[in-house]
Structure 1
Amino acid sequence: MKEYLKSDSEQIDHILNIIKEQGTGYLNTLADRPTSVNNDLISEQMDLPESGMGTESALKIFNERFEPIMVGSSGPRYLGFVTGGTTPASIAGDWLATVYDQNTQSVKGQGDISAGIELETIKMLLDLLGLPENFLGGFVTGATMSNFTGLAVARQWIGKELGKDFAKDGISGTVKVLTATPHSSSIKSLSLLGMGSGNIVRIKTAGDNREAICLKDLENQIVQLNDEPFILISSGGTVNTVDFDDFSEIRKLKEKYKFWWHIDAAFGGFAACSDTHKHLVEGWEDADSITVDCHKWLNVPYESAVFFVKEEYRILQVETFQNSNAPYLGDPLDNFGYLNFLPENSRRLKALPAWFSMMAYGRDGYKAIVENNIKLSEQFGEMIENSDAFKLLAPVRLNTVCFTLKDDTKQDQVSRFLESLNETGKVFMTPTFYNSHTGIRAAFVNWQTQEKDIELIFDLMNKIAATVG
């Protein structure tokens, strides 16, 4: 082992060149990479070698066993799970984040001060999204941990409103959480936080074919709480149909009633980059906490998301996440360290890929990415709407197209149709169930997707649909 480690260290330039060439080859052929593979290609697991074999030999085994089953999930026709791509600049930033290997926590003092890069990146993100600088933000692994962070501070706020310290003493009683169409990651967060995934008060939706909150029912439910503090989880783009709650009207309710307002805008928040769709997030600046997922529409590598929590709640945030051996005195922002503001004690420099990408392409670059994806989703929606084989299940509101087979008598064939489509390896979409229909979702968030891609996809869809039933 020691010999291989010494040899690898001496040949690091050679090793990285091999990886660079392989990575470049993958990226240059990404559009042709299969979006789905046969699970039978996965071979039996190997045992741990006793003395190792060195990096080049390990790479050879990887290329024999695993490389063929790596799908083009960051490619232009992977439309499942709202999966973003990776811009060239974000790849550069991610590589350097690995090379420099910082544990990003503090901004001053001895040792690592890479949190300064993170704070600068958060400032740029707030600017890109049109949010004020009175939000404190940080990077976490994904929307689940971003929702977890915002809702954890909300939990502490609820406790203080009730004269309790939930972070120190644990939750007592029931915390009321109102929502209409929450993402599964928010429900998971409530479970992790001890508030209970089953304690949600469901609010009616705004009407037929809507997933947004019915404001009248929301206010009726608030009145019934009789001034009891609660948490409102609202949507900045639902998963199935990208429906947005009316933030301007919720802001008015916040002036009348006492509650913590959390917005899950994992990918929909990037509507703020579009001149034609930024009205969808109007009023979101008055929320108490916001979730935004960077490895979706910002097109940076997994794992990357940010939380935004109003700075006025920084004491509550520190009470929630404070490291046990790191007491603070006075204002925690005076001696800032992420160690006391978010869940992880160990974290890589996740901000660097986002910093590189925003610096490289700027506001205009992201406006172009977002508006191109919106245009393509609208075109794809029109193709489906004018089709004899398919129909939309909801209007195309932003960047996701929710559809099914046009013939309702073939509902039992929708799943098989999608399997056949994905099996081509030319496109990948995900199943859903919406409005009493088995459906399919196609999410457009990749910077490389072009009109030729949706034409290829739609041609495949029609050929496969002709064989169904």
Structure 2
Amino acid sequence: MKEYLKNDSEHINHILDLIKAQGVEYLTTLSERPTSVNNNPVSDKIELPESGFGAEETLRIFNQRFEPIMVGSSGPRYLGFVTGGTTPASIAGDWLATIYDQNTQSTTGQGDISANIEIETINILLDLLGLPKSFLGGFVTGATMSNFTCMAVARQWLGKEQGRDIAKDGISQTIKVLTGTPHSSSIKSLSLLGIGSSNIIKVKTAGEDREAISIQDLEEQITKLNGEPFLLISSGGTVNTVDFDDFKEISRLKEKYKFWWHIDAAFGGFAACSDQYKHLVSGWENADSITVDCHKWLNVPYESAVFLVKEQYKILQVETFQNSNAPYLGDPLENFGYLNFLPENSRRLKALPAWFSLMAYGRKGYQEIIDRNISLAKQFGQMLAETNDFKLLAPVRLNTVCFTLKDEAQQDKVHGFLETLNGTGKVFMTPTFYHQQKGIRAAFVNWQTTEKDIELIFEVMKRIAAEFV
């Protein structure tokens, strides 16, 4: 092992050249790479080597065993799970984040102060999204941890409203959570925080074809609480149909009632980049906390999500996440450290890929990506609506198309159709269930997707649909 380590260190340039060549080949052929695998070729087990193989031989073993199961999930026809691609600049930033290997926590001192990069990236992102600088933010792994971080501060707020310090004393009373169509990551966060998903008070939706909250029912549910503080989880783009809650009306309610307002805008928040669709997030600046995923529509590598919490709650946030049992003295922003503002004690420099991409392509670059994806989703939805094989389950509101087989008698064939479609390796979509119907969801979030891609996808779909008649 010692000799291999020394040899790899002396030949790091050669090793990185090999990785670069392989990476470039993957990226330049991404549109042809299969979007799925039909079987798992990794059958034999391998034992831990006694003395190791060295980096170059390990690369060969990886290419033999695992490279064939790497699908083109960052490619233009991977439309499943709202999976974004990776811009060239974000890849450069991600490589450098690995090379510099900082544990991003502090902004001052003699050691690692790479948190300055993260704070700058948050400010640039706030500018892109049209949000005020009154939000304090940071990077975590994904929507689950972002929702978790925001809801943890919300939990502490609610406790203080009731004269309790939940971070110290734990939950001793039921916490009421109002929501309409929450994402599963929000529900998981409630479970992790000890709030419990069964304490959700479900608010009616605005209509049969809507996933957004009914403002009338929301206010009725609020009045039933008789002034008791509660948490509201609203949607900045639901997962199935990208429906948005009415942030202007919720802002009005917030002036009348006492509650913590959280917005899950994991990918829908990027509607703010589009002149045509930014009205969908009008009023979201009045929320107490917001979740945004960068590894979706910002098109940076996994794991990259941002929590945004109003700076006025900085003491509550520190009380929740401080890395000490002693009470925090003074202003936590004067001696800032992410160690006291979020769950993880150890973090890589997640902000750097986002910083690179934002600086490389700017406001106009992201506006173009967002508008093009929305246009492609609308076009794809129109193509489906005009056939005899498919029907839309909901209007195409932004960048996601929710559809099913047109003939209701074929509902039992939807899963088989999708499995066959994904099995072609030409496209990947995900199953869903909407209004008691089995459906399919296609999410357009990749910067590389073009009109030619949706034409290819549509032709493959029509051919398979003919086989299912």
TM-score exceeds 0.5: yes
Q: CA deviation at 1:181?
A: 0.3
Question: C-alpha distance in 1, partners of 2:438/2:132?
Answer: 41
Task: Find out whether 1:17 has 2:17 as its counterpart.
Answer: yes
Alignment of 1:30-429 (within 5 A): 30-324=30-324, 328-429=328-429
Task: Find out whether 1:27 has 2:35 as its counterpart.
Answer: no
Q: CA deviation at 1:436?
A: 1.3
Q: After superposition, what is the alpha-carbon deviation per residue over 1:126-153, rounded to whole angstroms, capped at 9, x for unaligned?
A: 0000000000000000000000000000
Question: C-alpha distance in 2, partners of 1:444/1:331?
Answer: 43
Q: When the two structures are superposed, what TM-score results if normalisation uses the length of structure 1? A: 0.99
Q: CA deviation at 1:45?
A: 2.7
2:261 alignment partner, SS class: strand
Q: CA deviation at 1:325?
A: 6.5
Shifted more, 326-335 versus 207-216: the winner is 326-335
1:233 alignment partner, SS class: strand
Residues 43, 65 of structure 1: 8 Å contact kept = no
Q: Label 1:40 to 1:109 Cα distance change in 2 as closer, same or farther (>3 A).
A: closer
Question: C-alpha distance in 1, partners of 2:44/2:185?
Answer: 32
Shifted more, 35-44 versus 125-134: the winner is 35-44
Question: C-alpha distance in 1, partners of 2:337/2:52?
Answer: 39
Q: CA deviation at 1:326?
A: 7.5
Residues 319, 327 of structure 2: 8 Å contact kept = no
Give, as a single letter, the amino acid of the residue that structure 1 aligns with 2:13.
Answer: D
Aligned length: 469
Question: C-alpha distance in 1, partners of 2:50/2:19?
Answer: 25
Segments of 5+ residues of structure 2 without an aligned counterpart are none
Shifted more, 411-420 versus 328-337: the winner is 328-337
Residues 144, 185 of structure 2: 8 Å contact kept = yes
Residues 85, 300 of structure 2: 8 Å contact kept = yes
Q: After superposition, what is the alpha-carbon deviation per residue over 1:23-45, rounded to whole angstroms, capped at 9, x for unaligned?
A: 00000000000000122322223
Question: C-alpha distance in 1, partners of 2:194/2:157?
Answer: 15
Question: C-alpha distance in 1, partners of 2:288/2:46?
Answer: 49
Residues 35, 428 of structure 2: 8 Å contact kept = yes
Q: CA deviation at 1:208?
A: 1.3
RMSD across aligned C-alpha pairs, in angstroms?
Answer: 0.7
Question: C-alpha distance in 1, partners of 2:151/2:125?
Answer: 21
Segments of 5+ residues of structure 1 without an aligned counterpart are none
Give, as a single letter, the amino acid of the residue that structure 1 aligns with 2:212.
Answer: A
Question: C-alpha distance in 2, partners of 1:328/1:210?
Answer: 45
Question: C-alpha distance in 1, partners of 2:187/2:45?
Answer: 34
Give, as a single letter, the amino acid of the residue that structure 1 aligns with 2:436.
Answer: S
1:346 alignment partner, SS class: coil
Q: When the two structures are superposed, what TM-score results if normalisation uses the length of structure 2? A: 0.99
Q: CA deviation at 1:329?
A: 1.9
Q: CA deviation at 1:327?
A: 5.7
Q: CA deviation at 1:73?
A: 0.1
Q: CA deviation at 1:198?
A: 1.2
Residues 417, 468 of structure 1: 8 Å contact kept = yes
Give, as a single letter, the amino acid of the residue that structure 2 aligns with 1:6.
Answer: K
Question: C-alpha distance in 1, partners of 2:276/2:45?
Answer: 51
Residues 81, 430 of structure 2: 8 Å contact kept = yes
Question: C-alpha distance in 2, partners of 1:29/1:352?
Answer: 26
Question: C-alpha distance in 2, partners of 1:159/1:353?
Answer: 37
